[in-house]
Structure 1
Amino acid sequence: MGSGEQETASAEGNGIGLQNERSLHAGIKQWYALPGDKFEVPLSTFVIDLVRGTQLVEIQTRNFTAIRGKLKALLQSHKVHLLHPVTAEKWVVQVDRSGNKVLSRRKSPFRGNLTDVFEELVRLPELLLQENFTFEVLYIKEEEVRCRDGKGSKHRKRESIKDRRLVEVVETIRFNSPADFMRFLPPTLPRPFSNKDLAHALQLPLHRCRQITYCLRKMETITVAGKKVNELLFQIAAEPGKEACSPIS
């Protein structure tokens, strides 16, 4: 076997370089993997990122819409664990047009928040109602590789994002059921509460709080209690044997 073939075999054995993965996806897979795990396993019409015993593990760095159908199909007869990174800290690496030479590396002022996960979670919150589905957020430090090629967005001054690389996993937060998402509702919230109340309590933009309450409603952990003027009011869903908090009349 030649050196090129050895490199290919090694990459396949480590689960890297398959399915045209970007570096962040491959890096998370390597960080999560344990001895005995299997990579890129064909199953029906799908390819599973990682299989650990009877559990299927999928890694999605963004665009949950693209994986929604796959997850729904797999959950009919399998246990599925979804991994998703949220960026805590970012380094921006500038490369030349060939991508082979690093021109600079600087720390970005960007700071992510765990609530950023709702940007994607709004695409499939009802899946958390299924017992076979678990979800894990990886709070990470990453490198974002950019090139000044004039093809990127205006707010990045036409810099294209060429790759994302995992630097470190800072923390992991696992959600086994909808009840685990109640951590996003501070105990100081009025009962019932509005999206504006939640935005004030969490110091978050209103659009993010709307995403949070939408997801919690789909997970059946909160319900609509009524309206105050044009604002929806929410209450904690009743637990078995308990009554929900009373809405404002």
Structure 2
Amino acid sequence: MINTYNESNLHATLKKIYALESNGRMEVQLDDTPWICDILDEDGNAIEIQTSNLSALTEKVQYILETGRKVKIVHPVAESKWIELYGRDGSLIYKKKSPKKATIFDSLRGMTQICPLFLHKNCTLEVLYCQITEMRRQTENPAQTQNLARRHLKNWLPLGKRLEKITKKEIYSKKDDWSKLIPETLRKNEDGSFPFFRKVDFEREIKKTWGSKNARWSGLLIWILVKMEILEITETKGRSKIYELKVES
């Protein structure tokens, strides 16, 4: 197949699942472009599996939408993760549970460019909460990854991720879906009016609703929701901005 030489086990597994579900064809060249679509379903619409930076799909998704096709972006996040470390001879050294639990908040940094496209009438983001196993190969000396992403070298290299189970699915296709990331206390007052709030209020309510780990992404979530025209800045007081849920006219 085209373009599968650098494909992870997780990506390949999800691609097969969605191709079967949609009766689609895998690895299809998009018209006369250099882009390869993960799946074209039986109606000619696109399904893209993106395991990391969602903004890497921006130009491709923009093109797909301009052709009139629908596009579904499938994005797995590791709700729970096991780590398997293998020796250089291929033997399993250990398997252990990672304490890290990812949510959609951990993916926000990769959405900054593509986020306005998520509200296009033909675009859907499907977030899959998964149990995965991350496989690693031990190295003799501290090593850099192929994409030079490591700030600190480690004594192992990644071998890929394996899907164990899909536990939950969240669909984001309209403003109401994204608005649910805003704590309920900041979406509407008891009298039905919309509350005004500052970043510090938003962070406090995110911490109460989604936990302190996700609260660190509060500022970025506000920035994205403003860019998507879900929140609006109603006033600026000194260094503080006042926000409100944007009312559709």
> What TM-score comes out, normalization by structure 1 length?
0.82
C-alpha deviation, 1:106, in angstroms: 0.6
- Partner Cα separation in structure 1 for residue 104 and residue 196 of structure 2: 24
- Partner Cα separation in structure 1 for residue 200 and residue 155 of structure 2: 35
Of 42, 50, 54, the match for 2:44: 54
User: Number of matched residues?
Assistant: 225
Q: After superposition, what is the alpha-carbon deviation per residue over 1:9-63, rounded to whole angstroms, capped at 9, x for unaligned?
A: xxx5xx9x83531111111112333262211111222211011123200011112
| Residue aligned with 1:185, SS | coil
| Residue aligned with 2:225, SS | helix
Q: After superposition, what is the alpha-carbon deviation per residue over 1:58-85, rounded to whole angstroms, capped at 9, x for unaligned?
A: 0111122322111111110121110111
Contact 1:93–1:144 at 8 Å: present in 2 too?
A: yes
1:37 aligns with 2:24: yes
Name the counterpart of 1:192: 196
- Partner Cα separation in structure 1 for residue 169 and residue 135 of structure 2: 24
1:115 aligns with 2:105: yes
| Change beyond 3 A, Cα 1:35–1:56 | closer
1:126 aligns with 2:116: yes
C-alpha deviation, 1:117, in angstroms: 2.7
Of 53, 73, 77, the match for 1:63: 53
Contact 1:94–1:105 at 8 Å: present in 2 too?
A: yes
C-alpha deviation, 1:216, in angstroms: 0.9
Name the counterpart of 2:169: 172
Please report the RMSD computed on the Cα atoms of aligned residues, expressed in angstroms. Answer: 2.2
- Partner Cα separation in structure 2 for residue 154 and residue 225 of structure 1: 40
| Change beyond 3 A, Cα 1:217–1:207 | same
Name the counterpart of 1:222: 231
| Residue aligned with 1:159, SS | strand
- Partner Cα separation in structure 2 for residue 231 and residue 206 of structure 1: 18
- Where does 1:83-122 land on structure 2 (aligned, <5 Å)? 83-98=74-89, 100-122=90-112
- Partner Cα separation in structure 1 for residue 131 and residue 151 of structure 2: 25
- Partner Cα separation in structure 1 for residue 242 and residue 156 of structure 2: 42
| Change beyond 3 A, Cα 1:86–1:35 | closer
Contact 1:42–1:48 at 8 Å: present in 2 too?
A: yes
Contact 2:55–2:111 at 8 Å: present in 1 too?
A: no
Q: After superposition, what is the alpha-carbon deviation per residue over 1:90-132, rounded to whole angstroms, capped at 9, x for unaligned?
A: 101101125x322211111111123223122223111123212
Unaligned segments of structure 1, at least 5 residues: 1-11, 241-249
Contact 2:82–2:97 at 8 Å: present in 1 too?
A: yes
Contact 1:196–1:206 at 8 Å: present in 2 too?
A: no
Q: Identity of counterpart residues, as a percentage?
A: 26
- Partner Cα separation in structure 2 for residue 29 and residue 195 of structure 1: 39
C-alpha deviation, 1:156, in angstroms: 7.7
What is the letter of the counterpart of residue 222 of structure 2?
Answer: T
What is the letter of the counterpart of residue 27 of structure 2?
Answer: E
- Partner Cα separation in structure 1 for residue 170 and residue 94 of structure 2: 33
| Change beyond 3 A, Cα 1:217–1:167 | same
- Where does 1:137-156 land on structure 2 (aligned, <5 Å)? 137-149=127-139, 150-152=142-144, 153=150
- Partner Cα separation in structure 2 for residue 179 and residue 145 of structure 1: 37
Contact 2:83–2:98 at 8 Å: present in 1 too?
A: yes
Of stretches 22-31 and 226-235 in structure 1, the one that deviates more from structure 2 is: 226-235
Unaligned segments of structure 2, at least 5 residues: 145-149, 190-194
